[in-house]
Amino acid sequence: METLKQLLEKPERLAPGHRSCQGCAMPIIVRSILRATDKPVVVANATSCLEVTTTLYPQSSWKVPWIHSLFENAPPTMSGVIAVYEQLKKKKKIKEDIKFIVFGGDGSTYDIGLQSLSGAWERGDDFLYVCYDNEAYQNTGNQRSSATPLGAITTTTPLGKVYKGKLKSRKNIMKIAEAHELPYLAQAGVNNWVDLHQKAKKAIETNGPTFLNVLSPCVAGWKYDSSLTIEIAKLAAETCFWPLYEIEDGKYKLNYKPAKKLPIKEFIKSQGRFKHLLKPKNKNILDSLQSEVDRRWADLLKRVERN
């Protein structure tokens, strides 16, 4: 395992000076993952906050080959890149061992691009897909996605007399990915850089399609002070809203178990998108969210114990 000093001495593959919001977790995620390998890397990027903030014409923050694709087709775009690479390698026109990474937000991962991502996984295309999950379509104005949690306020699930935020639970994308029998998939957060680095390294070095789902707190959409990004990600793990675990060759491994599981209220109370859940009249929604977290956590523990 490399030390923090060694990691920080590695050349940056995502340059500073991009347009992401102050306190945004997204650049931390990208920089951490790109540091997980010393091999040449090619990146594909679905339409998203990451694409918009790092490639404002005529400038780019990317120091690696980078290709932009639409919301829905970054995975097959990378599949095409890999097909060309494999042919060029057969013809000995390329000798380097190149790694391929796709970045997408939850909108392109959980929703718009799920069909093409599923196809790439089914074909066994050899790339790491990273979802930085900020739990809404933040790039286009904080509309709800299927990753948006129960009770969260977005522009399309507003707070009113009838609706009290989103009425549906978030999609479990990890179970969908697991159903494709990927050799490696994991869930991580920006609060634990060692865990994120190790998972990224393992995912990149594993042959075949791999998947990382990383919680990416969003200052603008979640409505919290920009200094609290790491703390909020930490609380997501401490409340078991966002467990840190991995699935390797079908076997579950829990990477972090809180010494004392905190109530979900501790995670949501500093976020404006959940402020209404702290009022007594909306306690039923808060209780439902807590029940969902408890149920999913218990299910995860059972799966870990079965290994």
pLDDT tens, position by position, 57-90? 999 999 999 999 999 999 999 999 999 999 999 9
**Residue 187 structural domain:** 4-306
Q: pLDDT band at 6, cuts 50/70/90?
A: confident
Residue 18 sits in a domain of what CATH number? 3.40.50.970
Return phi, psi of residue 133, to 5°: -95, 100
Tell me how far CA of residue 58 lies from CA of 54, 55, 61, 104, 302, in angstroms.
11, 7, 11, 22, 51
Identify the pLDDT of residue 119. 98
Return phi, psi of residue 253, to 5°: -140, 125
Tell me how far CA of residue 107 lies from CA of 88, 120, 259, 300, in angstroms.
33, 17, 33, 24
pLDDT tens, position by position, 12-55? 999 998 999 999 999 999 999 999 999 999 999 999 999 999 99
Identify the pLDDT of residue 7. 79
Identify the pLDDT of residue 2. 75
Identify the pLDDT of residue 307. 82
Q: For residue 263, give the H/E element and its range.
A: none
* Cα–Cα distance measured from residue 50 to residue 7, given in angstroms and rounded to the nearest whole number: 22
8 pLDDT more than 80? no
4 pLDDT more than 80? no
Identify the pLDDT of residue 237. 98
pLDDT tens, position by position, 182-238? 999 999 999 999 999 999 999 999 999 999 999 999 999 999 999 999 999 999 999
Please, are residues 108 and 46 in contact by the beta-carbon 8 Å criterion? yes
Residue written as tokens 């990477």? Answer: 255
The number of domains in the chain is: 1
Identify the pLDDT of residue 249. 97
Q: What is the mean pLDDT of the chain?
A: 96
9 pLDDT more than 90? no
Q: Is 201 exposed, middle or buried (0-12, 13-18, 19+ CB in 10 A)?
A: middle
Identify the pLDDT of residue 162. 87
pLDDT tens, position by position, 262-303? 999 999 999 999 999 999 999 999 999 999 999 999 999 999
